[in-house]
Amino acid sequence: MTIEQLYKFDNNLYAFLLLGILLFVVIKRKDIYDYSRKLFYTMVIFNMVLLLVEILAWAFDGIVSPAAIFANYLFNILLIIFEPIMAALWLSYVDYKIYGSMPRLKKRIYYLYASIFAATLLIINIFEPIAFTIDDDNVYHRGPFLWLSLVFVLGLVLYTIVLSIKNRKHISDGMIAFIAVFALLPVTISFIQLFVYGIILTWAVVALGVVFAYYLLEINGNSIDYLTKLRSRRKIEEIIRGLIEKNQGFIAIMIDLEYFKSINDKYGHKTGDEVLVHFSKVLNKAFG
């Protein structure tokens, strides 16, 4: 592959590097405690694989040799089958962040229906080229029914949005807006790529969505209480859920500040906040 060809894939390469850095940070920080950690790791790694597969699906196009023809077929098959799997991972991650239930996820086998449909499409493609064809010059051409696979993926994305809106009381309005934008944007770009041949942006945009998901779901607002700088109740529940899932023992202590209401009533809420801040510093000093 020449330097000129690499420029065509610069968005994918930058996105791959970004996800690699993110994965390193997440592993180093260890700030995701429950099953969502495994889902998030898988989502990041899978996105990185897809970025490389998309590059390779284009890299061998037009090179006439038995090895190049085989590679062209292989990477385009992987691209079609991996796309709905990534959508299912994203949906599973959002589902778990809302409900926090592994048994619930195990019952959601229909999250994989889009992947099963894509696999069926590719099996039929062996006998009748309805998904894609590779001509004698080893040039890729889309088939007449490839768009059906994208429709199934869109169904998963829309279900993610519906799930978020349905449970809007448990997540912020900003989170719903984020899910809507970063779920629909990659699908929109995929549809554009379907009609405008040569655009390579889908998985780079998905990578950006994954980075923002980490920032909004794992760091911003959900992890640290803005006043006391202690872990939020949501984060504590995640930590406890993670310990239970791993069958690890733990001890929880509940503390009640007596007469705190009288402090607010007599000295005002600002002084009450200062008391909470100082008490939080005592807790940090005592427990680390």
Max CA separation in the chain (angstroms):
85
Please give the pLDDT value at position 116: 94
User: Domain ranges in the chain?
Assistant: 3-219, 233-287
Encoding tokens for residue 222? 């959900």
Tokens of 83: 């796309």
pLDDT of residue 70: 95
Instruction: Please report, as a single letter, which amino acid is at residue 194.
Output: L
- Determine contact, residues 94/179, Cβ cutoff 8 Å: yes
Three-state secondary-structure class, residue 140 = strand
Show the tokens assigned to 213.
Answer: 């998901």
Helix H segments across the chain? 3-8, 10-29, 36-59, 66-99, 102-107, 113-127, 146-166, 173-195, 202-213, 233-245, 260-267, 269-287
Whole-number pLDDT of residue 42: 92
What is this structure's pTM? 0.76
> Half-sphere exposure of residue 156, counting CA atoms within 13 Å on the CB side?
28
145 contacts 122 by C-beta, under 8 angstroms: no
Exposure on the CB side of residue 288, measured as CA atoms within 13 A: 0
Instruction: Show the low-confidence residues of the chain (pLDDT under 70).
Output: 1-7, 31-32, 170-175, 194, 197-198, 217-223
The closest of 112, 125, 109 to 82, measured between CA atoms, is 112
Burial 134-145 (b: 16+ CB within 10 A, else e): beeebebebbee
What residue type is 32 in one-letter code?
I
Instruction: Name the nearest CA neighbour of 117 among 102, 133, 130.
Output: 130
